[in-house]
């Protein structure tokens, strides 16, 4: 099955690169045109029961998996076309890693492996301790792993909050984002602080709960972990008509010229745009936003849409200092140029 560290846009590879062949070129292609035994990379789009809809290359297809996956996860797996629907199986290297663990440690190692986090004795032991402190229930392990990987407090409140958030359907999430959008357009705020406080005024508890959980899901990976680790992504709005997508979102606070700056980076796989990354920065008074697309042919359509986005952003109580787009540089994990803020503002 899964090497959750796969960061490609999806496709088929001839071999696994872990010392053992995973492709059998002589095997006939499956109904999807992928040879049995091929190593594939893709993205989990939806989950219904034990069936996943995954995107591999440009194709959307159904598959089962030998370990649980979550919506929005990128994966690298062996494609077993002997079953219907096909099965995503563990690679030999993954099986060797998991074979070292038994009992509860096996479940913990699986939770780490499926999130692209380090599967070593220290990490397994640390996560198991935290999980057992919170009752050791299987239903909680995923949320505990997510909180632990972010260095967040593993309180019962945070665990239940993240479990609720991770279980939301696209339809439920779209309705919540629409509530947020309507309030931003309807009401005027004198400051960013006033804007943020307005969502926790008790008028809509679901919105406040959603934003609290969204902040947890957007916490960056803890120190020593790869920031690109495939943690459960946050729900990200697309527009008023489309479904929200799963995105990797990280919020951080920095200091520039002795002033605090808030930075949010995001990455998602758009149906039309393809792989998209960006960042938003603010010092509480000014705002800059930068969008990068892997598909260079999509840059111009996004540029043509920037005036509409600019008008939207000008309705919030921040001075829009920069808004731009461009193409991603191959091999660069973040937008290659960070557009800073004029700290005099």
Residue 100, pLDDT score = 94
How far apart are the C-alpha atoms of 148 and 98, rounded to whole Å? Answer: 20
For the chain, give the mean pLDDT.
80
User: Which token pair is 137?
Assistant: 């229930």
Residue 339, pLDDT score = 53
pLDDT mean over 56-65: 86
pLDDT class of 314 with cuts at 50, 70, 90: confident
Three-point CA angle 324, 228, 289, nearest 5°: 15
Flag whether pLDDT at 91 surpasses 60: yes
Q: Is the model's pTM score more than 0.75?
A: no
How far apart are the C-alpha atoms of 215 and 195, rounded to whole Å? Answer: 16
Q: Give the highest mean pLDDT range of 1-10, 209-218, 332-341.
A: 209-218
pLDDT class of 8 with cuts at 50, 70, 90: very low
Count the neighbouring beta carbons within 10 Å of the beta carbon of residue 33.
11
Residue 52, pLDDT score = 93
User: CA nearest 293: which of 256, 259, 324?
Assistant: 324
How far apart are the C-alpha atoms of 81 and 92, rounded to whole Å? Answer: 17
Residue 159, pLDDT score = 95
How far apart are the C-alpha atoms of 49 and 132, rounded to whole Å? Answer: 27
Q: Which residues pair with 51 in a beta bridge?
A: 48
User: Which token pair is 70?
Assistant: 């979550």
pLDDT mean over 291-313: 91
Q: Give the highest mean pLDDT range of 60-74, 147-161, 167-181, 315-329.
A: 147-161
Residue 13, pLDDT score = 56
| Terminal CA-CA length for the chain | 51
Which residues lie below 8 Å from residue 135, measured CB to CB, with a gap of 6+? none
- Cβ atoms of 24 and 55 closer than 8 Å: no
Flag whether pLDDT at 22 surpasses 60: no
User: Which token pair is 130?
Assistant: 């935290």
pLDDT class of 9 with cuts at 50, 70, 90: very low
Flag whether pLDDT at 307 surpasses 60: yes
More confident residue, 10 or 143: 143
pLDDT mean over 212-237: 74
Which residues lie below 8 Å from residue 302, measured CB to CB, with a gap of 6+? 273, 291, 293, 325
Distance of CA 196 to the CA centre of its chain: 23
Flag whether pLDDT at 28 surpasses 60: no
Domains of the chain: 11-93 (2.40.50.140), 100-166 (no CATH), 170-327 (no CATH)
More confident residue, 59 or 301: 301
Q: pLDDT for 136-186, tens place per residue?
A: 998 899 899 989 988 899 999 999 999 998 888 777 888 888 888 888 777
Residue 325, pLDDT score = 92
pLDDT mean over 177-205: 78
User: CA nearest 252: which of 218, 228, 226?
Assistant: 218
- Cβ atoms of 127 and 148 closer than 8 Å: yes
- Cβ atoms of 119 and 99 closer than 8 Å: no
Q: Which residues pair with 248 in a beta bridge?
A: 267
């Amino acid at each position: 099955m899964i090497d959750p560290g796969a960061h490609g846009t999806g496709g088929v590879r001839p071999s696994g690169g872990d010392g053992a062949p995973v492709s059998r070129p002589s095997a006939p292609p499956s109904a999807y045109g992928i040879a049995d035994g091929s190593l594939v990379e893709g993205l989990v789009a939806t989950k219904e029961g034990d069936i996943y809809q995954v995107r591999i290359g440009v194709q959307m297809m159904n598959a089962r998996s030998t370990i649980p996956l979550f919506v929005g996860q990128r994966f690298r797996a062996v494609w077993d076309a002997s079953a219907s629907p096909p099965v995503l199986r563990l690679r030999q290297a993954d099986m060797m890693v998991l074979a070292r663990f038994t009992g509860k440690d096996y479940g913990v190692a699986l939770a780490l492996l499926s999130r692209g986090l380090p599967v070593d004795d220290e990490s397994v032991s640390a996560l198991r301790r935290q999980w057992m402190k919170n009752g050791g229930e299987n239903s909680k392990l995923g949320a505990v792993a997510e909180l632990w990987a972010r260095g967040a407090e593993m309180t019962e409140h945070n665990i239940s909050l993240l479990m609720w958030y991770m279980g939301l359907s696209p339809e439920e999430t779209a309705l919540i984002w629409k509530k947020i959008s309507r309030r931003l357009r309807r009401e005027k705020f004198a400051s960013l602080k006033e804007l943020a406080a307005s969502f926790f005024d008790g008028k809509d508890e679901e919105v406040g709960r959603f934003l609290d959980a969204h902040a947890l899901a957007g916490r960056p990976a803890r120190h020593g972990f790869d920031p690109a680790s495939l943690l459960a992504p946050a729900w990200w709005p697309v527009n008023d008509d489309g479904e929200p997508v799963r995105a990797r979102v990280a919020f951080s606070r920095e200091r520039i010229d002795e002033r605090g700056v808030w930075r949010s980076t995001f990455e998602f796989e758009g149906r039309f745009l393809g792989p998209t990354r960006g960042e938003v920065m603010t010092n509480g008074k000014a705002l800059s936003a930068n969008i990068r697309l892997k598909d260079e042919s999509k840059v111009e359509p996004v540029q043509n849409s920037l005036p509409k986005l600019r008008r939207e952003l000008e309705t919030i109580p921040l001075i829009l200092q920069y808004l731009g787009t461009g193409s991603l540089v191959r091999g660069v994990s973040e937008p290659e140029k960070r557009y800073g803020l004029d700290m005099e503002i």
